[in-house]
Amino acid sequence: MELTVGTVLEGKVKSITNFGAFISLPENKTGMVHISEVANAYVSDIRQHLTEGQDVKVMVIGTDNGKINLSMKRLEPRPQRDNKAGRPAPRTGAPQRREGSFQGKDQSQPRAPRAPVPPAAPKTADQLFEEKLKAFMTESDSKLSSLKAYSEHRGRSRRRG
């Protein structure tokens, strides 16, 4: 059986660590569910969600160097979103904040939308080398000029005495 990303499997919790759980899969394979992939809510103690020997349903989310990365939360329905912006509903008891509110700002003026900033193009090896060379030359010139000034100062003081 070929394990590809997106495959849903039944497995059994083999062992639990602080960072995740190892799951026994068919064909004597083992995968790991990282603690961040256990549930849609924040998980501080994985043992509150899983026990050794428990049967679980998991999804393959990656295979790297023979390691099988699994997820349980991707099989759960996504939590309901409260608003159109796609933000989760505010926590109960949390202070409420109005959209765009800022203390001390004139609220009568509508806020202008920000233009998206395009990501910077990755630098080529030549550009990185040029930057390093420029930094080296600047530092070198600075050291040489201070050395020259020191030696001139020292030469003047010897002539006078």
CA–CA dist 160, 155 (Å, integer): 9
Per-residue pLDDT of 71-98, as tens digits, reads 999 998 877 766 555 555 555 555 555 5
Are the C-beta atoms of residues 65 and 37 closer than 8 Å to each other? no
Per-residue pLDDT of 36-77, as tens digits, reads 999 988 889 999 999 999 999 999 999 888 899 999 999 988
Q: Locate the domains of the chain by residue range.
A: 8-75, 123-161
Element (H, E) at 24: strand 20-25
DSSP state of 81: B
CATH number of the structural domain 8-75: 2.40.50.140
pLDDT of residue 56: 94
pLDDT of residue 100: 52
Q: Residues with Cβ < 8 Å from 78, sequence gap 6 or more? A: 40
Per-residue pLDDT of 103-148, as tens digits, reads 555 556 666 777 777 777 777 888 888 888 888 988 888 888 888 8
0.85 exceeded by pTM: no
Q: Residues with Cβ < 8 Å from 51, sequence gap 6 or more? A: 13, 16
pLDDT of residue 21: 94
Residue matched to tokens 């796609």: 86
